[in-house]
Structure 1
Amino acid sequence: MKHLKGTQDHEERRREESRKQRCHLTATCAVTEGVLQRQAVHNAHVYLGSDGRNRSTSQNHLIQILVLFNGGFSQHPDLSPRNTAGLVTISGETPPTLRWVFLDAETHEMRWGGKQESEGQICGPFDWTKDEACITLEDWEGWMTVRDPSDETRMKKELDLEDSGDI
């Protein structure tokens, strides 16, 4: 029995340590041949926009105006004591600041911001899936990336691109 208890304790400590490690997020999806939208999202990194929105992209010309998600789990004051069920990321602000990641309760999009922006939003609990390959929110691991045409127009202006092609 002692060996089993020691193994369980070791696994629990290992899981807690993995929650403290900062990480980048990568979008994955089932890619079927000929499905361009899925191919554009598969293996794309998640970035922070200056407007508090999270974006997934693999397009190099967008990366120059976005900040790579660099975060991990943290104690969130709105969740149970001594939890590590909140999700934080380091912003691209000057100086870089630790910001909360949350689900916007009105638009249902993943966003980031300070405590004030996260109030009234869904801030967790976030967790790993059992294999620690994906992140869940409230025990749900289904995520969706959507294309926002108004977002594309704004980014083209930021990049000073002509409106001749798709970003």
Structure 2
Amino acid sequence: MLRILRFGYVLILSVVLISCDSREPVSIDYTAELEEVALEANLQPGEILTAIDLTRVFTKNEWDSIIVIKPYAKYTHFKKLDLENNSDVRFILREMQFVDHHYYLLFVQENEITAYAKMNNFHRLAVTDNGFFPVISRSNPTVSLIRLKDDPDFYQFQKVSNQKIK
């Protein structure tokens, strides 16, 4: 009888531990999608296309917000966001402390990072706010696309509103 109780206890404990385990964020490549948007726009250097809905671009995973990890970002600032699994992307912040030739997007669903995307600077998601980690909300996913006049090989996706996590 004691063995049955122990087995039951171990089984219940195992189920509880497994159900509490959070998902580890997955790496997703959105380079082709952003390139397609830029090519379809067929912009001349210096020309601007408004109202691109990012919910139609970033479709490979669920998200309710996107956090932009800008160059030279620091983990000490990032952990203040208090996401459930922010330590799972610590390697990104370690890398970004020292680089400026790319950036990352973190896809967040219900306060948990579900995916991340390493983005090159050819399709830069520009943010003009002063926040450490600007956020694009699913409720306001509209950006403008700009083909840079000085360097027409580069496109810039510019946030329409200045929304950020504090």
Answer yes or no: same fold by TM over 0.5.
Answer: no
Kindly indicate which of the two structures has a greater share of residues assigned to strand: 2
Give the structure-1-normalised TM-score. Answer: 0.28
Q: Which structure has the bigger radius of gyration?
A: 2
